[in-house]
Structure 1
Amino acid sequence: MKKALVLALSAALLIPVAAQARDTTHYLTIKDVIAEATAAGKLDGSVKFYFGTKPAGAKIVQVGASTSKKTNAFGKSDEKACSWALQSALIYMQNAAKAAGANAVVNLNSNYKNVVYKSTSKYECHAGAVMAGVALKGDFARVR
């Protein structure tokens, strides 16, 4: 009886470890998340985001800005959790750009675990059973 109880408890302890170990990589559409954050008033439109590119005439104010944001993924779809994580990262970048005197974040790329993923239309997110995360890096700039 005692051995069965020890085995049952050991098995129960392993379940959360296995669930947390999931790390699914997603490449999701940027524009939908920006539209959702703007409509909700989380992004105010004063800072433009240029993923994977720098518009002509952009004057760099600060090189190498970065952020890594995670969110609770429990009970959410991976896509919803990833959207929340990207929104948090964009809000951070918006506020930091404004503080640096910039009105844009250019050359913006996903940078999860310091591995760059460049795209003008998609971002990289990693989702597990409990957490989802997005990492970004880019440059702050003044654009017309």
Structure 2
Amino acid sequence: MKRILAAACLSLLVAAPSAFARETRVEQSLQELVNSQEAKDAGIDGSVKFYLAGQSHPAVIESFGSDVSNRKTNAANKSDEAACRWVTLSVLKALQDGAKAKGANAVIDVVSFYKAKEFSSPTSYECYAGAILAGMALKGTYAKVK
């Protein structure tokens, strides 16, 4: 009887992580997020502009190399959309800080880069939300633009 109970408990422990393994893809507008009050509250101050790949931007005066910012955040008790907005603001803040440190005023050719898989859109970014965590990554090039 003890063996059966132990086997049942072990089966539950092994199966439990798959119950939390949900990864729902969420696609949202980057410009809407950058222009939001949430962005201002998170420290996105407008001194660095973000341009998605395929989106037109002012002429590049100087390029400072590419970077990737990857973050995860708590998604518990949040909608997928809210969790993705929050984690994306964290990524944008990291890219903004990196740009300022290099003397750049823009991050251009930005693409989503979650788990090293590129998603490119001239209007949207992608994020992945689960039951407990939301994660996203952006890759872009630091630049000084006119």
Partners of 1:72 and 1:38 lie apart in 2 by 18
The structural deviation recorded for 1:67 is 0.8
Structure 1: gaps of 5 or more residues: none
**TM-score, normalised by the number of residues in structure 1:** 0.87
Residues 9-31 of structure 1 show CA distances to partners (whole Å, capped at 9, x for unaligned) of 34542453123211111211212
SS of match in other structure, 2:6: helix
- Aligned equivalent of 1:50: 51
CA spacing shift, 1:114–1:133, aligned 2, 3 Å? same
Q: Distance in 2 between matches of 1:64 and 1:121?
A: 20
> Residues of 1 paired with 2:77 and 2:15: CA distance?
16
Partners of 2:58 and 2:30 in 1: how far apart? Answer: 21
2: CA distance, partners of 1:46 / 1:14: 48
Q: 1:98 to 1:54 in 2, by over 3 A?
A: farther
Q: Percent identity?
A: 39
> How far apart are 1:112 and its partner, in Å?
1.3
Shift of 1:33: 2.0
Within a 5 Å distance, the mapping from 1:23-102 to structure 2 comes to 23-34=23-34, 35-52=36-53, 53=55, 55-102=57-104
Q: Which runs of 5+ in 2 are unaligned?
A: none
Q: What SS does structure 1 have at the residue aligned with 2:94?
A: helix
Corresponding residue of 2:132: 130
In the alignment, residue 103 of structure 1 is paired with which amino acid?
Answer: N
- State TM-score, norm by structure 2: 0.86
SS at match of 1:139: strand
Which residue does the alignment assign to 2:21? 21
The residue number in structure 2 matching 1:108 is 110
- Helix, strand or coil at the partner of 2:113: strand
Q: CA RMSD in A?
A: 1.9
- Quick one: which amino acid aligns to residue 118 of structure 1? S
Displacement over 2 Å in runs of 4+: 1-16, 36-39
Contact 2:29/2:124 (CA < 8 Å) preserved in 1? Answer: yes
Query: Which secondary structure does the structure 1 equivalent of 2:96 belong to?
Result: helix
Equivalenced residues, count: 144
Letter in 1 for 2:88: L
Alignment partners' CA distance in 2, 1:63 and 1:100: 9
Tell me, in whole angstroms, the C-alpha distance in 1 between the residues paired with 2:38 and 2:102. Answer: 22
